[in-house]
Amino acid sequence: MSATTLFALGASALVGLGLYGLTIHPEPLRKILAFNLLGGGVFLLFGVVARRGAAAGLLADPVPQAIVITGLVVAFAATALAVALLLRLFKETGQATLRADAPTRTGADGADP
Amino acid sequence: MTVAWAFDAILAATVLAVACWTMAIRDTFAAVVGFVAYGLLLALVWVRLTAPDVALTEAAIGGGLTGVLLLGAAARLRPAQAAAAAETPGLALRLVTGVGCALISAALAAAVLLLPDPAPSLAPAAVADLPAIGVGNPITGVLMAYRALDTLLETVVLLLGLIGVWSLTPDSFWGGVPGPQHPARTDDALVFLARLLPPVGIVIGVYLLWVGKDEPGGAFQGGALLAAMWLLAMMAGLAKAPPTSRRWLRLVLVAGPLVFLAIGLAGLALAGAFLAYPEAYAKPLIMIIEVAKMLSVAATLGLLVAGSPERTPSR
Amino acid sequence: MSLVLDIFTVLAVSTGAFFFLAGTVGLLRFPDALARLHALTKADNLGLGLVVLGLLPRADGALGALKLIVVWLLVLLAGATVSQLLARVARRAGPSA
């Protein structure tokens, strides 16, 4: 079993782990963490496919690698948006929970929600 | 079973162990610290997969900037942590979810083990046209020439993410200054670092952009480094976060996508297709796009970490 | 000549790895935060310095060697700053940290 296959199996395990954390943790910030873990595993799978496509004097296929670079930047933008949403939710309700029946309060400065 | 194989096996096991720890630990702040370690180890894995460009991007954006963002959020959300943690689902639900996720992992592992064995590759096609574009790094060729449309859309998506973050500010703070007030400290280790590091960081960031033509590097990595230097200066109180209503800031943010779009449309007239480069001018055009893109990406990434405006602009 | 350089590389990197091990043992075993920071600085400064020293003969050209040394200096700078900041927080939190 080559090292690349080892990384591929590890990446599959990371995807399962991230999915588990995303489903189980009630806190939204932990869900965002698990989502990033899951994303890391998916990108590693792309990297394994790229490594297996070594040809024409290159050590790896450049197309999946370029796609992963794009994906990393977009995943960061999505994480930043999710964190901003969470912080605004916390500022408005005083709690960081996704439960629909959680008690709320108006913002401390009386700003319109 | 060579030494390199043993190193790879230990690295993969360590990444899995850190990921399990991050998911299992109770304290959210500790989980974020574990996530930053995970990001850095992942960069090592990318190096072992012979993808240095991706390793640079993962270390800078995945580990560094995401880590700063999540650490700040974890610190601010600490009062709400105890209440949210009380809703942990019961053992039955966790077991069922665990089995489901294990099945998904197994399916992925089976798919990977069944990948076709002379693996199909686009590397020959990518390398064949590189001399015509004039760049030596095949990843830069893919990003800026073969899949230039993807890169253009990516810069626009970054901008949309920033607009989304800004739109979450309360009405009274619209156009205001992002992020909490950082006290202007003097005589501090952080201030010393923020005075010493940014010149070095800016030089290395521009170097990463320039060297990305032929060696691993590029506009995203350089832009992430510039954003990190700006954030360091803001955190030390040496630079003030600009109000989001400033026109120069908005111009810098849209410069990258606009220049990219303009050159793409010019390609319609000069070379027959959207985002096609005229043969003799491919390299200078790509460099112009990359410079504008790096400045925009640096500003956008820095503002994404700074967050939505929370203070009124002091007029 | 290259055999001497290889032996030098192996010795220096091994000693550096030993200092990393010592720093990790200190991180795991010392009682409070300030002592743990003290242990970590050995790994950062001396451990990484020895590893970089051992890799210098294998760097490609003077520019590669310079880049390795710059990496070491940057890690020193970042580690020193972070240690100061952590120590300030740990001192404020008291000896239970």
Looking at the domain assignment, is residue A60 inside a domain? Answer: yes
**Cβ neighbours of C74 in B, within 8 Å:** 197, 200
A75 by Cβ neighbours in 10 Å (0-12 / 13-18 / 19+) ranks as buried
Looking at the domain assignment, is residue A108 inside a domain? Answer: no
Residue B306 falls in which region: left (phi positive, over 0), alpha (psi -120 to 50) or beta: alpha
Looking at the domain assignment, is residue A112 inside a domain? Answer: no
Phi, then psi, of B178 in degrees rounded to 5: -75, 150
**3-state class (DSSP) for residue A64:** helix
Test the C interface: residue of B190, B208, B229 with most C CBs within 10 Å: B190
Q: Report pLDDT digits (tens) over B185-235.
A: 766 889 999 999 999 999 999 999 999 999 999 999 999 999 999 999 998
Which candidate, C33, C42, C31, places its Cα nearest to that of C87?
Answer: C33
Minimal CA separation from C24 to chain B, in Å: 15
- Side-chain-side CA neighbours of B16 within 13 Å: the count stands at 17
Which candidate, C37, C45, C80, places its Cα nearest to that of B197?
Answer: C80
Which candidate, C13, C71, C96, C95, places its Cα nearest to that of C47?
Answer: C13
Task: Decide if pLDDT at B51 tops 60.
Answer: yes
Minimal CA separation from B67 to chain C, in Å: 15
Task: Decide if pLDDT at B181 tops 80.
Answer: no
Which one-letter amino acid corresponds to residue B40? Answer: L
Which one-letter amino acid corresponds to residue B295? Answer: L
Across the interface, whether the CB atoms of B66 and A36 are under 8 A apart is answered yes
Task: Decide if pLDDT at A112 tops 70.
Answer: no
Identify the band that residue A111 occupies on the pLDDT scale cut at 50, 70 and 90: very low
Task: Decide if pLDDT at A109 tops 60.
Answer: no
End-to-end, the C-alpha distance of chain B in Å comes to 67
DSSP structure string for B30-47? HHHHHHHHHHHHHHHHHH
Question: What is the per-residue pLDDT for A105?
Answer: 62
B276 by Cβ neighbours in 10 Å (0-12 / 13-18 / 19+) ranks as middle
Which one-letter amino acid corresponds to residue B121? Answer: S
Question: What is the per-residue pLDDT for B84?
Answer: 73
Identify the band that residue C1 occupies on the pLDDT scale cut at 50, 70 and 90: confident
DSSP state of B171: G
Q: CA–CA separation, B275 vs B268, rounded Å?
A: 7
**Cβ neighbours of C67 in B, within 8 Å:** none
ipTM of this predicted structure: 0.93
> Searching chain B, which residue's CA lies closest to the CA of residue A62?
B139
B224 by Cβ neighbours in 10 Å (0-12 / 13-18 / 19+) ranks as buried
Q: CA–CA separation, C97 vs C93, rounded Å?
A: 6
Q: CA–CA separation, B277 vs B264, rounded Å?
A: 8
A82 by Cβ neighbours in 10 Å (0-12 / 13-18 / 19+) ranks as buried
Identify the band that residue A108 occupies on the pLDDT scale cut at 50, 70 and 90: very low
CATH number, position A89: 1.10.287.3510
What tokens were used for B28? 């959210």
Phi, then psi, of B311 in degrees rounded to 5: -135, 145
- Rounded mean pLDDT, C31-55: 89
Q: Report pLDDT digits (tens) over B81-107.
A: 777 777 778 899 999 999 999 999 999
Name residue, tokens 């890169």.
Answer: B151
**Cβ neighbours of A94 in B, within 8 Å:** 80
How many domains, chain A? 1
Q: What is the CA radius of gyration of chain B?
A: 23
Q: Cβ of A106 under 8 Å from any chain B Cβ?
A: no
User: Domain limits at A36?
Assistant: 3-93
End-to-end, the C-alpha distance of chain A in Å comes to 56
Minimal CA separation from C80 to chain B, in Å: 8
Which one-letter amino acid corresponds to residue B127? Answer: V
- Side-chain-side CA neighbours of A18 within 13 Å: the count stands at 21
Q: CA–CA separation, B219 vs B224, rounded Å?
A: 8
Q: Report pLDDT digits (tens) over B58-83.
A: 999 999 999 999 999 999 998 887 77
User: Which residue in B31, B54, B65 is closest to A65 by CB distance?
Assistant: B54
Q: CA–CA separation, B177 vs B125, rounded Å?
A: 48
Q: What is the CA radius of gyration of chain A?
A: 19
Across the interface, whether the CB atoms of B193 and C77 are under 8 A apart is answered yes
The model's pTM: 0.92
| Residue-averaged pLDDT of chain B | 91
Question: What is the per-residue pLDDT for C49?
Answer: 94
CB A52 within 8 A of CB A63: no
Question: What is the per-residue pLDDT for A102?
Answer: 67
